[in-house]
Structure 1
Amino acid sequence: MRKLKMKKLMSLLLALTMVLALAACGSREANKTQDGSDLDYVKGKGKLIIGYTNYEPMNYTDENGVFTGFDTELAMLTCEKLGLEPEFVEINWDTKEVELNAKSIDCIWNGLTIDDERKAKMEITKPYVKNAQVVLVKEGTAYNGTESLIGKTVVAEQGSAGENTVKADDNLKQANFVPKTLQTDCLMELKSGTADAAVLDLTLAKTMTGEGTSYNDIVIVDYLAEEDYGVAFRKGSDICAEVNKIFDEFFEDGTMAALAEKYGLELAK
């Protein structure tokens, strides 16, 4: 009887050991998939999900209803080299990093300013386009530096380099700062007179203001900060290095220069 009980106990222990071993193996495989190559992850899907906001001339829909822009075209050309289908998803700029880490998107490709804080949280490509933060007012407005805006209403896109510039300027800190969802919202506030000034990206300001635009009475009066644009991926993503290689090719073969000329932009190198 004792021998029979011992055999049953040994069989039970053996079965339990096998279950635990299989569970451990499954856990290792799950972790391997979760922590593996980001490039393999997107190639497994066959597409790169690109987060963007409506930001002319980087990503926007033209008068013919065609989705285009410098970043749009560059992303499509890069995806072709990677063997991936680009899928553009409009995002809330203020929650862009949350969406990136949640894998709702695979990158932020939308005139993203490179800074140390973002580099600490995301994997960002080498610079490819130059930009600056500029002050815009209605034509005829008296302006003598940012001290002219103390106590005035100033708008910038929430979570943007423009907002950071406002918060870093001693005079603009004393303005009535109102964050807006989009840079285009800032232009509308300025045109309607509900804002006295806006701090926006030069790339957008040059495209959307002046003669022949809807904001022909809006002018650039000051340059506050020069910066560069990069494409952001999840921290540690190996996609970034591959995109950098492709960018090098595009700089060398003239693709970058042709796109910059088409959209009136200045390259970072």
Structure 2
Amino acid sequence: MKKNQFLKIMTTLCLTGVFALGMVGCGSKTPENAPVSSETPAAEKTEAPATDLQNVTSSTLDSTLDKDTLIIGLDDTFAPLGFRDTNGELTGFDVEVAKAIGEKLGKEITFQPIDWSMKETELNAGNIDLIWNGYTITEERKEKVSFSKPYLKNTQAIVTLADSTIATKADLAGKKVGAQNESSAIDAMEAEPEVYASFESGEAYTYEDNNQALMDLEAGRIDAVVADEILLRYYLSLKGAEKYNVLTENFGDEEYGVGMRKDDQKMVDAFNKAYDELKAEGTLAEISTKWFASDITQ
């Protein structure tokens, strides 16, 4: 065999081996027979390109407050805080309060739906200016962002179908429990490691958003969902509360805040001042009563 023929054969074999290794995948954390999302896994995602010059340069400004337009990153399926109505328009409690804050600050407000698992990355890359959509204040997140003052209280509630035998957290042992990926529900469950490890797979099944988890609950593919009580109560009121059971036990209380870039105290102070003014004027009470039938703001 000629030397150049031998080299061609060896090159082909090496490339074939590399391709075969590249085809090896990793396991999913969603239950068997669950709908498969067409979205690229988070580990393979790349940052989305900025939509305008102002967005590109936002991370280089002394403060986000120096911008004329503030870009708010949100999960547009998180009813009743930020979601799309039947016409596809963004609406909800957080959306309305954000617009009111924008007026106080003299800023234009635009909303940018994001992959919630990438929220802090999007913020610190300058693709968005605020994280605002039922964003729970945690010590871990405080290391990545600066928070506004808390504006709503919430719990991490557990919901099952009405005919379920699950009545306590202890009953979740050996069960399939779902939650949104990279959500505070996951953090709250992990804070109770003995309970969390008792789940059927030793952890929760994760979803891109809460709606997908609740759809799997309805279909019987999982046994329970852990999510923000504010979202669950609204969702169940639309679907028929009699079909579900919200357990008395939960995975803890928490507070919502708005996330801003780390150390941007100028923006935090201006935001909190505008919020206090809206509270004193009764604007927050008016918006809250529209969505929750009472003023539940802090």
Q: CA shift at 1:223, angstroms?
A: 2.4
Taking the aligned partners of 1:87 and 1:81, their CA distance within structure 2 comes to: 15
Q: Which residue of 1 aligns with 2:35?
A: none
Q: Which residue of 1 aligns with 2:60?
A: 34
1:60 maps to amino acid: F
Residue 245 of structure 2 is aligned to residue 239 of structure 1: no
Q: Quote the sequence identity (%).
A: 34
Cα deviation per residue 1:48-99 (whole Å; 9 max; x = unaligned)?
Answer: 0000002000001123443210000000111111111111000011010000
Contact in 2 for aligned 1:58/1:70 (Cα 8 Å): yes
Residue 95 of structure 2 is aligned to residue 69 of structure 1: no
| CA RMSD after TM alignment | 1.7
1:139 maps to amino acid: A
More helix by share: 1
Q: Which residue of 1 aligns with 2:214?
A: 187
Taking the aligned partners of 1:266 and 1:217, their CA distance within structure 2 comes to: 28
Q: Which residue of 2 aligns with 1:101?
A: 124
Taking the aligned partners of 1:266 and 1:163, their CA distance within structure 2 comes to: 28
| Structure 1 segments unaligned to the other structure (5+ residues) | 1-32
Q: Which residue of 2 aligns with 1:172?
A: 196
Q: Which residue of 1 aligns with 2:73?
A: 51
Tell me, what secondary structure is at the counterpart of 2:239? Answer: coil
Q: Which of 228, 232, 238 is residue 201 of structure 1 equivalent to?
A: 228
Cα deviation per residue 1:136-192 (whole Å; 9 max; x = unaligned)?
Answer: 000021123111111111001111111112222222321032111101111111101
Between the two proteins, the alignment pairs up a number of residues equal to 232
Q: Which residue of 1 aligns with 2:285?
A: 257
Contact in 1 for aligned 2:159/2:226 (Cα 8 Å): yes
Taking the aligned partners of 1:224 and 1:167, their CA distance within structure 2 comes to: 10
Cα 1:266–1:229 change in 2 (3 A) is: farther
Taking the aligned partners of 1:186 and 1:216, their CA distance within structure 2 comes to: 19
Q: TM-score, normalised by structure 1?
A: 0.81
Q: Which residue of 2 aligns with 1:133?
A: 156
Taking the aligned partners of 1:104 and 1:172, their CA distance within structure 2 comes to: 34
| Structure 2 segments unaligned to the other structure (5+ residues) | 1-58
Q: CA shift at 1:34, angstroms?
A: 3.0
Taking the aligned partners of 1:59 and 1:133, their CA distance within structure 2 comes to: 18
Contact in 2 for aligned 1:57/1:204 (Cα 8 Å): yes
Contact in 1 for aligned 2:279/2:285 (Cα 8 Å): yes
Q: CA shift at 1:203, angstroms?
A: 0.6
1:174 maps to amino acid: S
Q: TM-score, normalised by structure 2?
A: 0.74
Q: Which residue of 2 aligns with 1:267?
A: 296
Tell me, what secondary structure is at the counterpart of 2:258? Answer: strand
